[in-house]
């Protein structure tokens, strides 16, 4: 047999072996048998933020960077407290949840007729509630322009309107309300950090959760079908003036789907969680048009009541409380890879007399508040959890350098799915190698290389990642 034929057969066997290894690795990763998530949450000690002998209910939380805002309602069931701790209560943290200010009453029971909702953007914080001012009942607003240190007096925004949801993005704040007189739902908007407000619409779908982005509002609500209640998905591209009913995203079966909540990460991936007759279910949507993944059962424990969800980058955290024969306990389940896989169910509090959880994610930390029976009195408790970065590679890839063009230092990210030899080199337009950034055997993972422009003239360069399984080339520009 000619030597060239033996060489070709040997190369084909090697290629076939490498393809089999790569295929097997993909199967293993897909079935979750390897590269499992690091499910550890670095929980800090719980902090009790309410300290009154009143019934504290309906905790809410808003975050912006290291600033954490917590809101709840204090009810004097015995009529012995006077005005202390009664009405809408508030406290904040400026150090990422390490310590909190003393609670204060921001809206008394003389004005607030129900629990409040809160949103924050930078130093501006808005609290909306159903209240009574100047002989009229409706949506009232409290505004702070210094991150909750001081507050303006409560003012009436819209009579006969009960605020249901509040959200913010940049300098825009939105309040979704229900009109008691017309029995319709509407939207209020402020484009200047909650200072001036206008009515966007007074006839829109009833939402249970929504999140605004720079150009689009995303919402979910309960839709009554011929058989049961399902989850409807809506979008608006005109600040909530008109809404498009996209589709029903829950399985149209014999089970009612209740209390849906939505959260988006920075890439626009949508995560929706809801309650299916006591079980917790989620779907993930990616892409411009609705492209929803399969329905995922987060927990099949019966008795789930309140659910909430938060997403940031690859982190997705879902929290709910379970009714265990009259005793309530909180559960949490998280993903660090954008809900492709999930960690086991966790219990952030050992107490079964805890419920009504609310959750946010900010700067790599999970911020959780809930109501809990402490010494026979229901109080509000906060806990912070440090999230773990996902260092697993889900494929071989070479990313575009950033910044680009650059004059100084640029970063090049690349992923290795399998252990292998890897070479990352930079070439000029003549094909001459001018820099070697990586050259050797490496373990699977996500990597970042840096390149300095100091020794190179302005121009277009090529950088190439090469492994036995994968090769890719991209351009970078040095501009001095």
Q: How confident is the model at residue 8 (pLDDT cuts 50, 70, 90)?
A: low
Mean pLDDT of the chain, nearest integer = 89
Say how many C-beta atoms besides its own lie within 10 A of residue 370's C-beta: 26
Under a CB-based contact definition with an 8 Å cutoff, are residues 89 and 71 in contact?
A: yes
Its pTM stands at 0.78
Residue 11 confidence (pLDDT) above 70:
no
**What is the C-alpha to C-alpha distance for residues 446 and 7, in angstroms, rounded to an integer?**
35
Q: What is the pLDDT of residue 219?
A: 98
Residue 452 confidence (pLDDT) above 50:
yes
Most confident range (mean pLDDT) of 59-63, 249-253, 284-288, 384-388 is 59-63
**What is the C-alpha to C-alpha distance for residues 465 and 458, in angstroms, rounded to an integer?**
22
Which bin fits 431, alpha (ψ -120 to 50), beta or left (φ > 0)? left
The least confident of 11-25, 71-85, 406-420 is 11-25
- Spans of all domains in the chain: 42-386, 391-480
**Mean per-residue pLDDT, 328-354:** 91
Q: What is the pLDDT of residue 17?
A: 46
Query: Which DSSP helix (H) or strand (E) runs through 22?
Result: helix 3-30
The least confident of 147-161, 275-289, 310-324, 366-380 is 275-289
Is 255 or 151 the better-scoring residue by pLDDT?
Answer: 151
Residue 424 confidence (pLDDT) above 80:
yes
197-211 pLDDT per residue, tens: 999 999 999 999 999
Q: What is the pLDDT of residue 348?
A: 93
Smallest Cα–Cα separation from 101: which of 71, 60, 124? Answer: 71
Which bin fits 347, alpha (ψ -120 to 50), beta or left (φ > 0)? beta
Which CATH architecture describes the domain 42-386?
6 Propeller (2.120)
What is the three-class DSSP state of 177?
A: strand
Please name the fold of domain 391-480.
Immunoglobulin-like (2.60.40)
Which of the 8 DSSP states describes residue 254? S
What is the three-class DSSP state of 413?
A: strand
Q: What is the pLDDT of residue 302?
A: 84
Residue 24 confidence (pLDDT) above 50:
no
Smallest Cα–Cα separation from 334: which of 357, 315, 347, 349? Answer: 315
Which two three-digit tokens encode residue 268?
């626009």
Could you tell me how far CA 225 lies from the centroid of its own chain?
A: 29
Under a CB-based contact definition with an 8 Å cutoff, are residues 137 and 162 in contact?
A: no
Inter-CA distances, 367 with 50, 361, 388, Å: 16, 6, 14
**What is the C-alpha to C-alpha distance for residues 322 and 343, in angstroms, rounded to an integer?**
18
Under a CB-based contact definition with an 8 Å cutoff, are residues 111 and 83 in contact?
A: no
Q: How confident is the model at residue 81 (pLDDT cuts 50, 70, 90)?
A: low
Helix segments in 31-92, DSSP class H: none
**What is the C-alpha to C-alpha distance for residues 310 and 272, in angstroms, rounded to an integer?**
10
């Amino acid at each position: 047999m000619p030597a060239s034929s033996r060489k070709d057969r040997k190369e084909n066997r090697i290629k076939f072996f490498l393809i089999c290894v790569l295929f097997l690795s993909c199967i293993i990763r897909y079935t979750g048998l390897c590269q499992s998530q690091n499910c550890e949450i670095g929980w800090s000690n719980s902090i009790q933020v309410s300290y009154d002998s009143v019934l504290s209910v309906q905790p809410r939380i808003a975050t912006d960077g290291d600033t954490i805002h917590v809101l709840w309602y204090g009810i004097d069931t015995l009529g012995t407290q006077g005005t202390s701790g009664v009405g809408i209560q508030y406290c904040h943290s400026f150090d990422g949840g390490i310590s909190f200010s003393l609670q204060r009453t921001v809206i008394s029971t003389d004005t607030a007729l129900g629990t409040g909702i809160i949103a924050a953007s930078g130093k501006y914080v808005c609290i909306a509630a159903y209240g009574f001012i100047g002989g009229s009942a409706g949506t009232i607003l409290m505004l702070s322009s210094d991150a909750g240190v001081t507050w303006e007096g409560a003012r009436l925004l819209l009579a006969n309107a009960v605020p249901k949801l509040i959200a913010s993005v940049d300098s825009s704040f939105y309040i979704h309300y229900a009109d008691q007189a017309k029995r319709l739902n509407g939207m209020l908007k402020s484009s200047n950090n909650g200072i001036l407000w206008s009515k966007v619409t007074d006839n829109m779908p009833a939402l249970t959760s929504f999140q605004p982005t720079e150009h689009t509002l995303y919402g979910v609500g309960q839709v009554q079908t011929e058989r049961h209640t399902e989850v409807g998905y809506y979008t608006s591209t005109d600040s909530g003036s008109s809404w498009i009913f996209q589709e029903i995203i829950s399985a149209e079966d014999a089970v009612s789907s209740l209390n849906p909540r939505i959260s988006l990460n920075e890439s626009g991936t949508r995560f929706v969680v809801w309650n299916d007759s006591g079980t917790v279910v989620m779907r993930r949507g990616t892409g411009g048009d609705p492209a929803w993944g399969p329905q995922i059962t987060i927990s099949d424990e019966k008795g789930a009541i309140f659910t909430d969800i938060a997403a940031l980058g690859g982190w997705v955290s879902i929290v709910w409380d379970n009714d265990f024969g009259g005793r309530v306990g909180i559960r949490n389940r998280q993903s660090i890879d954008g809900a492709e896989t999930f960690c086991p169910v966790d219990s952030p509090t050992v107490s079964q007399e805890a419920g009504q959880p609310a959750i946010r994610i900010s700067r790599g930390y999970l911020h959780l508040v809930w109501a809990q029976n402490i010494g026979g009195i229901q109080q509000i408790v906060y806990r912070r959890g440090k999230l773990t970065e996902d260092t697993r590679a889900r494929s071989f890839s070479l990313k575009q350098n950033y910044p680009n063009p650059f004059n100084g230092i640029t970063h090049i990210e690349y992923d290795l799915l399998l252990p292998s030899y890897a070479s990352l080199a930079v070439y000029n337009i003549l094909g001459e190698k001018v820099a070697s950034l990586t050259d050797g055997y490496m373990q699977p993972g996500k990597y970042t290389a840096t390149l300095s422009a100091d020794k190179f003239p302005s121009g277009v360069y090529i950088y190439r990642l090469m492994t036995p399984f994968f090769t890719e080339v991209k351009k970078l520009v040095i501009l001095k």
